[in-house]
Amino acid sequence: MTHEFESLRPALAYLSPDEISQIEQAYEFSRSAHEGQFRKSGEPYISHPLAVAGILAGWHLDAQTLIAALLHDVVEDTPATVSEIEACYGKPVALLVEGVSKLDKLAFESEQHAQAENFRKMLLAMAQDVRVILIKLADRLHNMHTMGSMPAEKRKRIAKETLEIYAPIANRLGLHSVYQELEDLGFRYSHPNRYQVLAKAVKAARGNRRELVDKIKIALQEKLEHCKVEATITGREKHLYSIYRKMQEKNLAFSEVFDIYGFRVVVRDQPSCYLALGALHSLYKPIPGKFKDYIAIPKANGYQSLHSILFGPNGTPIEVQIRTADMNRLAESGVASHWMYKSADAALNDVQTRTHRWLQSLLDIHADHGDSPEFLEHIKIDLFPDEVYVFTPKGKIMALPRGATAVDFAFAVHTDVGFHCIAVKINYELMPLRTQLRNGDHVEILTAANASPNAAWLNFVVTGKARSHIRNYLRNTRVEEAAALGKRLLTNAIAALHPDGIEPDPAVWDRVVKDYGLQTREELFAGIGLGRKLPLVVAHQLLHVQGEKTGVPAHPHAISIRGTEGIAVELAQCCHPIPGDPILGFIHKDRGLIIHTHDCTSIRAFRTDPDKWLDVEWEAEPGHMFDVSIKVVVGNQRGVLAKVAAAIAEHGSNIGNIAMEEEDGSPYTVLYFTVQVENRMHLARVMRGLRVLPDVVRIFRIKGRKDGRAAQPQ
């Protein structure tokens, strides 16, 4: 059966005889392990790992990678183990095989969770060694070429996964030809009918336009020769998925997509790129705004080229790419160029540096998010194919995904800059942090030592790094605030049971913490503060009170509330309590302590469960403004709204929201205000100030919903 290996041998000519011998040995190991296994197409299974190794050999990958490619399915599909592979071929090969192998699906509740966990495992392995993803991309490429015998539903699922994950990763690593091939294959199996129709249209257009394409190519060649620029020109056809995507994004019919064909001009050196550009611009006029210089500002994956769209004969748009031979080599092979062209080329080193930086960012995101579905979400965000290029105050170029904001930029500069940013200057003008950045923007972030991330930032950030760090900060802050509240609640519960103030000894703490399956007291405090554990129950356990609950005093000490504790204490939206109102605290699972007024209509049904309620009181000087809703009935007079708003402002209150209700034919209008006051006395002053207005008929504070019906506890 070794004749199958002979088909691979010519592609291994760049390796030493010893390395080829090791690869042949690995082939025999894999063939033996997969003996009796067949693909859906009926071919012996060994044909797949052999084809994957062939693809990688085409990229001139090292012997370890080719051995791992031949063995990449043996751990998953045969009795062979990683330990066995390590013993035969060494630890590096074993790590590559382990990184590519899927996890045991039986360990997961759902296929979706297993898929997310497999991506997490693969991407982490890739961050340690980029060869893992190169094997996986070759594996996916061969699978996509041989999917014809699979059920249609499975084909669509794999095609969707290819378009969402594998093609963008290939693009991010600069493997341009692999990226295009995966996109076209993904398109073919996810939308088979659309693919067939478009492929047929492109084939017809190719015949119709061949004469025009040949004519343009000759004109380009003659112009460059006349300007003494040595160049090789090739016609280039856009791949099907890029045509389809353009039709979708711009809502175009196929007949309206003219730049299906382009031309690649490969010149001797970098200065010649710009000479060629000038020559071609003098031949055909460039379309304004359609020129991109990726030589001066390379793409994030290291891609370099000049792109320009020209008005060709009869007004036909022509896309031209101008680059050197080295740039062309990098554009096709990307990160794999490291193995294909082992040299001291600065461009190759730059690609490796960029790739390493991106892979390191995957580890940074994972450090903040072990939860696999969330990790995969961040990875998808970071696989944006389009970038914007902006400048730091020192003139450094930074690449960010399309749609990135000033906050994304701040986190890209440094995590600390992101945490403490308060404002941004874009092109030397102060702008909101949510401002989306554009190519060429000069961006300067302003910071403050006491600033911290805002939950609202999650509504507009687009990079995985920014989203990950903000979420992690908010999660930690929530736990810290909940722990502080939980400690106060537990201290109060202990004082209620033992007014003498007994402090549990450390051994009791350790035992109770362990009983709850926790590691530290802080985790226990956080659980109490988030409403997951009742403080009186924990207090009973801590103090070894084994008797009846009748020993618990009926009126434990009240908890003091400032109203500014943060997310661990929440003021209910149904009754808008303010300082001076009699209040109760409702322990809500996961949200901590919710404060309601005593007479809130939405809590009547819950008052019967005393274990969920705590007596709370306002601190003497909360020092904060609180939202409260008021209803004002006024006569239908010109300018009455302005008079009421002015009166509210005169008494030191801000207006948060205004709504109006006018009944047909009625001489009165109902105004609803959300105003900010310091306490109940401040609200009384505001309401007295409104009552003296001649146009005000009635005024009262709203508790509950605007329509008067009870709401559920918030």
- Tell me which of 189, 220, 240 is where a domain ends: 189
Amino acid letter, residue 532: R
Q: How remote is the C-alpha of 482 from its chain's centroid?
A: 27
pLDDT tier, 138 (very low <50, low <70, confident <90, very high otherwise):
very high
Domain presence at residue 526? yes
Percent above pLDDT 70 for the chain: 76
More confident residue, 111 or 75: 75
Kindly tell me if the per-residue pLDDT of 355 is higher than 90: no
More confident residue, 335 or 196: 196
Report the range of poorest mean pLDDT among 24-28, 311-315, 335-339, 596-600: 335-339
Report the range of poorest mean pLDDT among 6-20, 218-232, 255-269: 255-269
Domain presence at residue 429? yes
Top mean-pLDDT range of 5-14, 194-203, 691-700: 691-700
DSSP 702: -
Amino acid letter, residue 710: A
Q: Are residues 284 and 420 in the same domain?
A: no
Domain presence at residue 561? yes
Q: What is the pLDDT of residue 383?
A: 58
Three-class SS of residue 499?
coil
Q: Are residues 168 and 295 in the same domain?
A: no
Q: Cβ of 419: how many Cβ atoms within 10 Å?
A: 16
* The two structure tokens encoding residue 68: 């791992």
More confident residue, 491 or 628: 628
Report the range of poorest mean pLDDT among 135-144, 482-491, 619-628: 619-628
Mean pLDDT score, 562-591: 74
Percent above pLDDT 90 for the chain: 17
For position 694, which CATH number holds? 3.30.70.260
For position 176, which CATH number holds? 1.10.3210.10
Distance CA 381, CA 365 (A): 12
Distance CA 308, CA 290 (A): 6
Handedness of CA 537, 539, 542, 547 (dihedral sign): negative
Three-class SS of residue 245?
helix
For position 238, which CATH number holds? 3.30.460.10
Report the range of poorest mean pLDDT among 97-111, 171-185, 246-260, 317-331: 97-111
Top mean-pLDDT range of 6-15, 345-354, 526-535: 6-15
Handedness of CA 420, 426, 430, 431 (dihedral sign): negative
Measuring CA to CA, how many Å separate 598 from each of 581, 586, 593, 603, 710? 8, 11, 15, 9, 14
Q: Are residues 409 and 362 in the same domain?
A: yes
Distance CA 116, CA 380 (A): 11
CB 619 within 8 A of CB 613: no
Residue 88: CA count within 13 A, CB half-sphere: 19
- Tell me which of 154, 189, 224 is where a domain ends: 189
Kindly tell me if the per-residue pLDDT of 547 is higher than 50: no
Q: Cβ of 235: how many Cβ atoms within 10 Å?
A: 13
**Exposure string for 657-681, b = 16+ CB within 10 A, e = fewer:** eeeeeeeeeeeebbbebbbbbbbbe
pLDDT tier, 1 (very low <50, low <70, confident <90, very high otherwise):
very low
* The two structure tokens encoding residue 413: 């500069």
Q: Are residues 479 and 566 in the same domain?
A: yes
Kindly tell me if the per-residue pLDDT of 109 is higher than 80: no
Mean pLDDT score, 286-302: 82
Q: Are residues 139 and 238 in the same domain?
A: no
Handedness of CA 397, 400, 402, 405 (dihedral sign): negative
Identify whether 98 is a catalytic site residue: no
Q: Are residues 542 and 642 in the same domain?
A: no
Q: What is the pLDDT of residue 426?
A: 92
Handedness of CA 357, 358, 363, 367 (dihedral sign): positive
* The two structure tokens encoding residue 289: 């705004």
pLDDT tier, 115 (very low <50, low <70, confident <90, very high otherwise):
low
CA dihedral 517, 522, 524, 526 (to 10 degrees): -120
What would the pLDDT profile of 465-482 be if each residue is shown by its tens digit?
888 888 888 777 777 877
Q: What is the pLDDT of residue 637?
A: 84
pLDDT tier, 247 (very low <50, low <70, confident <90, very high otherwise):
confident
Q: What is the mean pLDDT of the chain?
A: 79
Three-class SS of residue 154?
helix
Distance CA 283, CA 281 (A): 5
Handedness of CA 608, 610, 612, 616 (dihedral sign): positive
pLDDT tier, 511 (very low <50, low <70, confident <90, very high otherwise):
confident
Q: What is the pLDDT of residue 691?
A: 92
Domain presence at residue 31? yes
More confident residue, 694 or 207: 694
Kindly tell me if the per-residue pLDDT of 568 is higher than 50: yes
Q: What is the pLDDT of residue 405?
A: 93
Q: Are residues 392 and 482 in the same domain?
A: no
Mean pLDDT score, 499-528: 75
Q: What is the pLDDT of residue 358?
A: 63
Q: Which domain holds residue 226?
A: 194-342
Top mean-pLDDT range of 20-24, 131-135, 354-358: 20-24
Domain presence at residue 223? yes
Report the range of poorest mean pLDDT among 163-177, 353-367, 497-511: 353-367
- Tell me which of 442, 468, 494 is where a domain ends: 468
pLDDT tier, 602 (very low <50, low <70, confident <90, very high otherwise):
confident
CA dihedral 196, 198, 204, 207 (to 10 degrees): -110
Q: Are residues 11 and 101 in the same domain?
A: yes
Q: What is the pLDDT of residue 267?
A: 94
Place of tokens 């986190």: 411
616 φ, ψ (degrees, to nearest 5): -130, 160
Q: Are residues 377 and 419 in the same domain?
A: yes
Q: What is the pLDDT of residue 591?
A: 64
More confident residue, 368 or 112: 112
Domain presence at residue 508? yes
One-character DSSP codes across 624-660: --EEEEEEEEEE--TTHHHHHHHHHHHTT-EEEEEEE
Q: Are residues 36 and 184 in the same domain?
A: yes
- What pTM was computed for the model? 0.57
The length of the chain in residues reads 714
Phi-psi sector, 639: left (phi>0), alpha (psi -120 to 50), beta: left
More confident residue, 544 or 71: 71
Identify whether 522 is a catalytic site residue: no
Q: What is the pLDDT of residue 713?
A: 36
pLDDT tier, 344 (very low <50, low <70, confident <90, very high otherwise):
very low
Which residues lie closer than 8 Å to 305 by C-beta, 6 or more apart? 294, 295, 321, 322, 323, 327, 331
Mean pLDDT score, 22-45: 86
What would the pLDDT profile of 497-506 be if each residue is shown by its tens digit?
676 666 777 7
Kindly tell me if the per-residue pLDDT of 377 is higher than 70: no
Q: In what order do the strands lie in the sheet with 261-267?
A: 231-237, 261-267, 317-324, 306-311, 286-293
The residue from 19, 77, 259, 617 that is catalytic is 77
Top mean-pLDDT range of 68-72, 125-129, 204-208, 608-612: 68-72
What helix, strand, coil percent values describe the chain, rounded to 5? Answer: 50, 15, 30
Q: Are residues 528 and 590 in the same domain?
A: yes
Domain presence at residue 511? yes
* The two structure tokens encoding residue 504: 């549990």
CB 309 within 8 A of CB 252: no
Q: Are residues 115 and 31 in the same domain?
A: yes
Domain presence at residue 426? yes
The residue from 43, 76, 164, 662 that is catalytic is 76
Number of domains present in the structure of the chain: 5
Q: What is the pLDDT of residue 175?
A: 81
